[in-house]
Amino acid sequence: MGQASLRLEPVALGNVIAEAVEDLHPLASERRVRIVISLPSDLPAVYADPNKLHQIILNLLHNAIKFSPPHSTVDIEITSPRNREIQISVRDVGPGLAPEEIEKVFQPFYRAAATPKQAKGAGLGLTIAKLLVELHHSRLQIETTPGEGSCFYFALQPAVSKQELPLLQYAPIANT
């Protein structure tokens, strides 16, 4: 991760989310967990690295599906108040975290006390998601209630449209 760099560009967030949901469809079906996507119809593009953004969303959704009970719903919600920062939230109804686990959950190889013994994974998904979010100059945050679930969220900047870019003035170079 120390070698990670970003290739920032305008990214259609809805497409990245749809791709991640499609990638996780087999796991969600196996666990009988429904994924509900809520996003505004006028959602602007975000300024991000599309591959790393996909990995962030994939890791957050995977974690939410893994910890949600069968026949429950994982919500991924995008909000954009007046085209300021765009917030991406992934909410589950899993076991939640005890207050003392909130910071530990982002540490490599940490497994929360409520992690079922049969749950697969090395405990790196949230660590990687947090580092990739930070590369985007944001912060991965969590709201959690033991016994009720967790919500992981972060914000990205909307992509600047060409109309908002300052016009560059070019002067011809005189041949001397």
pLDDT over threshold 70, residue 90: yes
Question: pLDDT over 90 for what percent of the chain?
Answer: 60
Decide if 159 contacts 10 (C-beta within 8 A): yes
Task: Tell the burial category of 32 from Cβ atoms under 10 Å away from its Cβ (0-12, 13-18, 19+).
Answer: exposed
Give the pLDDT band of residue 167 (cuts 50, 70, 90): very low
Q: What is the mean pLDDT of residues 61-66?
A: 94
How many other CB atoms sit within 10 Å of the CB of residue 171?
5
98-153 pLDDT, tens digit each: 888 888 888 888 777 666 555 666 678 899 999 999 999 999 999 999 989 999 99
66-85 pLDDT, tens digit each: 999 999 999 999 998 765 89
Decide if 128 contacts 147 (C-beta within 8 A): no
Give the distance from CA 37 to its chain's centroid.
Answer: 13
Q: What is the DSSP letter of 118?
A: T
Task: Find which of 35-49, 119-133, 157-171 is predicted with most confidence, using mean pLDDT.
Answer: 35-49
Decide if 172 contacts 123 (C-beta within 8 A): no
- Give residue 18's region: left, alpha or beta (phi > 0; psi -120 to 50): alpha
Q: What is the pLDDT of residue 102?
A: 86
- 121: helix, coil or strand? coil
pLDDT over threshold 90, residue 20: yes
Does the CA dihedral 105-110-116-121 come out positive or negative? Answer: positive
pLDDT over threshold 50, residue 1: no
Tell me the two tokens of residue 21.
């949901």
Distance CA 146, CA 94 (A): 9
Q: What is the pLDDT of residue 83?
A: 58
